[in-house]
Amino acid sequence: MSVVSKLRSPVKPMVVEPRAILCSTGNRFRVTKSEITKKPQQHPRVTKSPATEKPDSNFTASTDDSSSYSSSSERSSVKSTNSGKITPSKRNGVTKLNNVVSVVAVEDISPKIPEPVKRCHWITPNSDPIYVLFHDEEWGVPVRDDKKLFELLVFSQALAEFSWPSILRKRDDFRKLFEEFDPSAIAQFTEKRLMSLRVNGCLILSEQKLRAIVENAKLVLKIKQEFGSFSNYCWRFVNHKPLRNGYRYGRQVPVKSPKAEYISKDMMQRGFRCVGPTVIYSFLQASGIVNDHLTACFRYQECNVETEKGPKSPAIEIELDQHSP
């Protein structure tokens, strides 16, 4: 045989394997109807409830896992709702719930933030805490004790040199140096004792104010002999009942009043020193003889209630009986 005939010998045909067809569900082979009919039909297992189901040794591990999963999914999916019927539908051995409407009541457990307390306009967020405490607990509260009244009179005189916060911070020093503001003890101060009233090497007040305090303490003793107490003398100017001005705005609060001018004049005639109308009006406000809390301030009504509930002292009742017609 020639070489040409060998080259023209028939070539064995190549066997081409079928390729996978790319379907919409991915690169998988299509399954024909004939193959479906060949597969045995699988019936879903009917499992009993966990309460009545008994262990069966014939069950395989995989079957137990699938049945427990389906029962647990049924228990977790079925919940009580506030409205509407639950209509379960079973498909491929899996129970589903249709038209399930769950209403969850959410309770607001966040703490309620209290509203800020309304105070007089001169008390600001930047005010000294000791001044705020004085406003909330003492300022405007009726005072009928002689020592406390004399203390507030001294503090009102000191306002010409210090502010209220500065005075309140030195309050303990004042009480220590002035014998708890006992007029009988202050009246015995000598010149040497007067000049020794110093804090950190400096006089606690000017020399003029210190001499006025000693002189006023002597006059308080005379007033006690005439009126029974310094409290009776101060409260008789308002008929022993606090004056309630009821101002709405801070600009309405005066620095003095006709009543303060009248009291100042009477005290000056008796020999008191450093008791001008402005000093006396500050004294009336601090001692509660005048209630000058603004009407929007929470202390305005509280001071009024404390005044109505407060009992009268025996000395006041005796004086009222003497002046009654």
Three-state DSSP state, 251: helix
Which of 19, 37, 38 is closest to 28 using CA atoms? 19
Annotated binding residue 274: no
Helix (H, G, I), strand (E, B) or coil at 183: helix
Number of H helices, E strands in the chain: 15, 6
Q: Is 121 annotated as a binding residue?
A: no
Alpha helices in the chain (DSSP H): 3-7, 33-38, 61-77, 129-137, 146-158, 164-169, 171-177, 183-186, 191-195, 207-227, 230-235, 258-269, 277-286, 298-309, 314-323
The closest of 127, 152, 154 to 138, measured between CA atoms, is 152
Q: Fill in the amino acid letter for 215.
A: E
Residue 49, CB half-sphere, CA atoms under 13 Å: how many? 3
Compute how many other C-beta atoms are within 10 angstroms of the C-beta atom of residue 250.
11
Query: How crowded is the C-beta side of 190, counted as CA atoms within 13 Å?
Result: 2
DSSP-based three-state secondary structure for 94:
strand
297 labelled as ligand-binding? yes
Burial class (CB in 10 A: 0-12, 13-18, 19+), 211: middle
- The rounded distance, in Å, linking the Cα atoms of 253 and 247 is 7
State the Cα–Cα distance between residues 249 and 281, nearest whole angstrom.
Answer: 18
Q: Is 135 annotated as a binding residue?
A: yes
Residues in binding site for Zn(2+): 120, 135, 293, 297
Residues in binding site: 120, 135, 293, 297
